[in-house]
Amino acid sequence: MRAIWSILAMTATVAGGPALAATAKRGSFGTTADGTAVEAVTLTGANGVRARIITLGATLQAFEAPDRAGKLADITIGYDDVKAYEAKPNYWGQTIGRFANRIAGGKFTLDGKAYQVTQNDKANALHGGVRGFDKAVWRITDVKQGAVASVTMVLVSPDGDQGFPGTLNVTVTYALDDKGALTIDFGATTDKPTIVNLTNHALFNLAGDGSPTGVLNQRLTIPASRYTPVDAALIPTGQMVPVAGTVFDFTKGRSLGDGIRDGRDPQIVIGRGWDHNWVLDKGITAEPGLAARMEDPASGRVLEVLSTEPGLQFYSGNFLDGTLVGKGGHLYRMGDGIALEPQKFPDTPNQPAFGSARLDPGQTYRHRMIYRVSVAR
């Protein structure tokens, strides 16, 4: 699949004229089983950072960043081709919706009317139900290059899709600058009251995809003094508990290997590691604020995740069990990648204390998040 880079390199630059600092190149990524074409757009910054986005799931399929020596590595896990994404679907870099994370029983009520979403996590709805946005082929509406290179994709989710009310018109724009910042803008409008919670679900390994050391020696910081504990079905109990004195305290940074298998904490036992929502101290913000910082001391690569949303779901790849073969023939196991998903809190529609995920006609849902890569010297 590494050859796809050369295929894309031969694709004509989207906009004519002289070469610009950040480029966008559009090409094919294959076809789905029903014959639908899947496109890829590769965004490249002047510093060499590049991101490949495919229309299947509006997915961040690859994200390459340099180490201290300038050597590029893909820091996300995933698949090399469409067939694998369809045969063994996972949430690896996809755009997640209509509602990221879990809804208890797949049920919620709006204006006194009960709704049932398709259940795909035992009795619960996870990441939009059986056929969420991650499994749809989105349509490219715009590709730009210049100081910032970008691609915009759209999707129309009809009224009743997976049980959600209202026709939802969704946009996602990936934009890469020359300083290593990949901004992802989500937007949505509806014709009926509904609920919306969109995010990206990339799993990161700053040592590089398939690195034998995995992520356990890497450090994570989460600026959150509280988190939301879960029950046996991974549904929040409704509490917001201090992280101080627990393995959920990432306020000062800690090694990912420190606590991931600490069976003395019943929450770690329930999640098979971390699979919880942190209550970000910044709350909801007009501009993206820091949600997480990840650093690999060996390579020097640093990833900062910023968002306008109030929560961060940190998932330590607990269900990667060695049965899935990903990019480059890599066999993925627990510790080979972690997800840092900024979003509204899980099960918000059923937990008033968590705020609101409601979207009404005439309103526009917006979420801006940023993956910013750099190098620690």
For every one of its 377 residues, what pLDDT tens digit does the chain have, with 9 covering 90 and above? 433 333 333 333 444 444 558 999 999 999 999 999 999 999 999 999 999 999 999 999 999 999 999 999 999 999 999 999 999 999 999 999 999 999 999 999 999 999 999 999 999 999 999 999 999 999 999 999 999 999 999 999 999 999 999 999 999 999 999 999 999 999 999 999 999 999 999 999 999 999 998 999 999 999 999 999 999 999 999 999 999 999 999 999 999 999 999 999 999 999 999 999 999 999 999 999 999 999 999 999 999 999 999 999 999 999 999 999 999 999 999 999 999 999 999 999 999 999 999 999 999 999 999 999 999 98
Of 364, 361, 311, residue with least CA distance to 110: 361
Residue 267: both structure tokens together: 């929450």
Parse the chain into domains and list their residue ranges.
3-375
Please give the pLDDT value at position 21.
87
Q: What is the DSSP string of 276-313?
A: EEEE-TT-S-SS-EEEEEEE-TTT-EEEEEEESSSEEE
Give the CATH class of 3-375.
Answer: mainly beta
Most distant CA pair in the chain, distance? 61
pTM exceeds 0.85, yes or no: yes
- 276: annotated active-site residue: no
Residue 164: both structure tokens together: 């959600």
Which of the residues 276, 330, 341, 367 is marked catalytic?
A: 341
Q: What is the DSSP string of 144-163?
A: E-BSSEEEEEEEEE-TTGGG
Residue 335: both structure tokens together: 């510790």
Which of the residues 39, 64, 127, 201 is marked catalytic?
A: 201
- 341: annotated active-site residue: yes
Residue 133: both structure tokens together: 């946005």
Q: Which residues, in sequence order, are CB contacts of 266 under 8 Å at separation 6+? A: none
Please give the pLDDT value at position 20.
59
Residue indicated by tokens 């409704």? 238
Between the alpha carbon of residue 81 and those of residues 33, 137, 267, 330, the distances in Å are: 12, 14, 36, 14
CA distance 127 to 95: 9
